[in-house]
Structure 1
Amino acid sequence: MTGRSKPSQPGGFLRHNSLSLFFLVIFLLALGGQAFAGWHEFNNQQLAEGFGQVSFGRYLSSVDFAVDVSENWQSEYLQFLLFILATVWLLQRGSPESKELHKAGLESAEDQKIGRHADDSSPTWARVGGWRTAAFSNSLLLVMLSIFLGSWLVQSIAGWAAYNEVLLEQMRDPMSWTSYVLGADFWSRTLQNWQSEFLAVGSMAVLSIYLRQRGSPESKPVGQSHASTGVEG
């Protein structure tokens, strides 16, 4: 008896990866635009303060550009880190961003297809058990945490160097890295990004209870009840 082959999914590489490719392209365009605009703004400030202009390449390697990029990156990854962690246990009735109300917590091995409950298509590390399954079970959170901490460290070092440049221009003594990360400039830069990310995530969780976007997995089906939780369109 001849086995039936699985029907191939329509579309090629571009169709199957269009979401990630779209955001990669607009990320690169936005980063390039930020770099170009930031370079011009930096040179305008240099002229206003009586200093010489710098080349585009020198600006890209400057602490000013590094701190502007890294302070945005760390806040974005903190947003995802907290959202991933919070949605394990915390619920929002009526939101597709929440799990169903009876599924709070880490869920059972059977629900998560771990160990003997894994199927043939499950990743190897979900089946083997021990530290590898434990690590794989938290791998998304761990990677997000690593990127957040790394970019936050870069922000602190670049911001410290940029702040000391200003102090030296003002003929004042530079400060230590520890003093900078405990100071107002670092936390002003940090918190102005954090508050916007927290507002955006909270708004999405609440607005998706009552509003719809047909065809989006971030929304419930158009005709779904407002009270339905953990249901995606």
Structure 2
Amino acid sequence: MRRGIRDAGLSLAFLVIFVLALLGQSIAGHAYLNEQQAQHGDAKVGYLEYVSSSDFIVDVAENWQSEFLQFFLFILATIWLVQRGSPESKQPGDEGVGTDAEQSVGRHARADSPKWAKSRGIRLWVYSNSLLLVMGGVFLASWLAQSIAGRVVANEEGAQHGQPPGTWVEYVVSADFWNRSLQNWQSEFLAVGAMVVFSIYLRQRGSSESKPVGVPHRTSSVEAD
């Protein structure tokens, strides 16, 4: 049990942090909503009613979709693009998907390789691109949830001003939807770009996201190994 927890420590730690942050968001969001309700003389909203509402769902979904879009694009970009000296990049000259021998797939698979890595055809293609496919799928699902919940919120706000409800398509092409999306996207892209560049010149001893402290700036961690 203790060894299992140690071996999965990184994922378990972030799972706990995620749950606590999501819980904190729901409590703070619920309190803020009721403050707004009181200012308008409306009845308070219960906690369970709030966490199942479109207001809460749209706030959560718009952040999820930007995060998974960030990783989807980063995974895709690092197949073909490199940044010399960054541990977030392959070394120059290694661009592309690599050969079957380099990837240990098909007839080059090892005895302990995953089962689908030893197969051929569509199963091998799916497994070879499974990380990108899952990240893209979660992004699309989160984006859809954001658009559906966001439309409900927008229509509720519009009804308060006597406006007719809009369709899903009208909301998806609206300034409100794209303002919500792009304000999250730009920050994610900035963070990824900064990490790629900062990791060329800066170090964190003991972190797998950093090169060894004494490795030259223009050398990637792969080259150093």
**What is the TM-score of this pair, normalised by structure 2?**
0.97
Contact 1:101–1:229 (Cα < 8 Å) also in 2: no
- Which amino acid counterpart does residue 115 of structure 1 have in structure 2? G
* Unaligned ranges ≥5, structure 1: 1-10
Contact 1:98–1:230 (Cα < 8 Å) also in 2: no
Judging by fraction of residues, say which structure has more helix.
2
- Runs of 4 or more above 2 Å deviation: 229-233
Please report how far the alpha carbon of residue 50 of structure 1 lies from its aligned counterpart in structure 2 after TM superposition: 2.4
Instruction: State the SS of the aligned residue for 1:149.
Output: helix
Matches within 5 A, 1:18-57: 18-57=9-48
Asked if residue 98 in structure 1 is aligned to residue 89 in structure 2, the reply is yes
- Which amino acid counterpart does residue 31 of structure 2 have in structure 1? H
Contact 2:66–2:181 (Cα < 8 Å) also in 1: yes
Determine the C-alpha separation between the residues in 1 that align with 2:41 and 2:94: 62
Match of residue 4, structure 2, among 6, 13, 33: 13
Asked if residue 171 in structure 1 is aligned to residue 162 in structure 2, the reply is yes
1:5-57 Cα deviation digits (max 9, x unpaired): xxxxxx61110100000000000000000000000001111111222111000
- Which amino acid counterpart does residue 143 of structure 2 have in structure 1? W
Determine the C-alpha separation between the residues in 2 that align with 1:49 and 1:72: 28
Determine the C-alpha separation between the residues in 1 that align with 2:186 and 2:92: 27
Determine the C-alpha separation between the residues in 2 that align with 1:104 and 1:116: 23
- Which amino acid counterpart does residue 223 of structure 1 have in structure 2? G
Deviates further, 165-174 or 77-86: 165-174
1:117 is aligned to: 108
Instruction: State the SS of the aligned residue for 1:110.
Output: helix
Contact 2:212–2:221 (Cα < 8 Å) also in 1: no
Contact 1:63–1:162 (Cα < 8 Å) also in 2: yes
Instruction: State the SS of the aligned residue for 1:73.
Output: helix
Determine the C-alpha separation between the residues in 1 that align with 2:66 and 2:221: 26
* Unaligned ranges ≥5, structure 2: none
Please report how far the alpha carbon of residue 230 of structure 1 lies from its aligned counterpart in structure 2 after TM superposition: 4.5
Please report how far the alpha carbon of residue 229 of structure 1 lies from its aligned counterpart in structure 2 after TM superposition: 2.2
Determine the C-alpha separation between the residues in 2 that align with 1:169 and 1:96: 52
2:181 is aligned to: 190
Determine the C-alpha separation between the residues in 1 that align with 2:40 and 2:176: 21
May I ask how many residue pairs the two structures share in their alignment?
224
Determine the C-alpha separation between the residues in 1 that align with 2:103 and 2:179: 41
2:122 is aligned to: 131
Determine the C-alpha separation between the residues in 2 that align with 1:230 and 1:83: 18
2:77 is aligned to: 86
Determine the C-alpha separation between the residues in 1 that align with 2:60 and 2:66: 11
Determine the C-alpha separation between the residues in 2 that align with 1:90 and 1:107: 13
1:149-170 Cα deviation digits (max 9, x unpaired): 0000000000000010001111
1:65-84 Cα deviation digits (max 9, x unpaired): 00000000000000100010
- Which amino acid counterpart does residue 32 of structure 1 have in structure 2? L
